[in-house]
Amino acid sequence: MREFWDVKSVEETLGVLRRFKPVGTDVVRLPDALGRVLAVDVSSAEDIPAFDRSMVDGYAVRAEDAAGASESSPVELRVAGEVFMAQTADFALGTGEAAEVPTGGMVPEGADAVVMVEYTDIPRDGYVAVSKAVVPGERVLKRGKDIACGEVILENGTLLAPRHLGMLAAVGVVELTVYRTVRVAVISTGDELVPPDETPPLGKVRDINTTVLHAALLEDGAEPMIMGLVPDDETALRDAVASALDRSDFVLVSAGSSVGTRDITLDIIESFDDSEVFVHGVKMRPGKPTILARVANKPVMGLPGHPASVTVCYSVIVRPLLRRLAGHSDSELVRYIDRHKGVVTAELDRNVASLIGREDRLRVSLALEDGLLVASPIYGPSGAISTVGKADGWIVIDANTEGYMKGQPVEVELI
């Protein structure tokens, strides 16, 4: 049996991801841009708002005219006119004058503040009494204060959320250049596998990893391409990988990545011209039998065959690589991972041990006991899907740590 070679830590493996570049771009209409990633900076071609706008219902005034106004000593101003919604203010205020304005209405020239209607009264026809002093700029959204003409409002690499689409609509951007959806080919290998809709004969098992990877890729905004089940045969696997490389941006091969006599994924990858293996073996458990390579400019990953290992490898390595191919900026990537994995703090209900030099991810279940969040380790072989199905998350035991003690607070990364 050969040995793993070029084994790297999780941190080193994630560093390798910088070798890969985002895929190509598309132009999409604004309603179709949700969840896509910007491929260019977007600047505003206009000021927002395009005019000084009242933020409340009230009266536009010159702040100096309302100086000293109070409930006991209101200031009377002559009403020079009324500004209606969606209409321009075709008059200017002079000294001692005010104008009635609605929320969102244009503030007339000469006014520099708005008094809320709650602090006004009508003492006599054509006049308003102001019972609260204001300062210049109060209750007024100045032209260009929200978004200035020429301002970069969204940067290349931004994952577009509803709030971003609102900004784009505000400045009239209706077409966007975004990174293309990443096409990911999924190949599951093994003579022992049958599809989930078949009853496996004795000695065979249903394929789990295709379903897990398909769902995870969809959840992360990718386009999964299921290449089917492939036996442990070099010709069949090479043909499948070649087809996947022709049709996709990223190839995932499940199983066959270890060092046994039937583990042929590494040999298949190396058989292609212009191929390079960066990682064969990652210092984590589960998930050590992981391959990270390229063929031409496309990443190819060999994943372990056990479902629990695949789940961990996807979260730790595949997802960050997928985000890089999709064009996410580094800061957006960090926010995306934090938002999706979620982290809670819990106390361990027993001691857990680990080996120095290896980063462990121990699956745990969570429970509330007397108001305290408690994490219980779930032990079992990585081939057991129940160890994932029963888990609420996992804790990371650092490679330089021998373990944790019962009652110790730990961070649980939610699945």
Hey, what domains does the chain have and what are their CATH numbers?
Answer: 10-23+181-329 (3.40.980.10), 25-48+149-179 (3.90.105.10), 53-141 (2.170.190.11), 342-414 (2.40.340.10)
Q: What is the pLDDT of residue 344?
A: 84
Q: Is it the case that residue 188 has pLDDT exceeding 70? A: yes
Q: Is it the case that residue 386 has pLDDT exceeding 60? A: no
Q: Please state, in angstroms and rounded to a whole number, the distance separating the CA atoms of residues 381 and 383.
A: 5
The predicted model gives 72-98 an average pLDDT of: 95
Q: Please state, in angstroms and rounded to a whole number, the distance separating the CA atoms of residues 33 and 377.
A: 41
Q: Please state, in angstroms and rounded to a whole number, the distance separating the CA atoms of residues 383 and 402.
A: 24
Q: Is it the case that residue 229 has pLDDT exceeding 60? A: yes
Q: What is the pTM of this model?
A: 0.76
| Res. 388 pLDDT band, cuts 50 70 90 | low
The predicted model gives 176-182 an average pLDDT of: 97
The predicted model gives 298-307 an average pLDDT of: 93
Q: Please state, in angstroms and rounded to a whole number, the distance separating the CA atoms of residues 247 and 273.
A: 17
pLDDT in tens, 247-292: 999 999 998 777 665 678 999 999 999 999 999 999 998 888 999 9
Q: Where are the beta strands (DSSP E) in 149-269?
A: 152-154, 175-179, 183-189, 193-194, 205-206, 223-230, 250-254
More confident residue, 315 or 262: 315
Is the Cβ–Cβ distance between 207 and 249 less than 8 Å? no
Q: What is the pLDDT of residue 212?
A: 94
Angle (CA) 265-269-275 rounded to 5° is 160
Q: What is the pLDDT of residue 19?
A: 94
Q: Is it the case that residue 383 has pLDDT exceeding 50? A: no
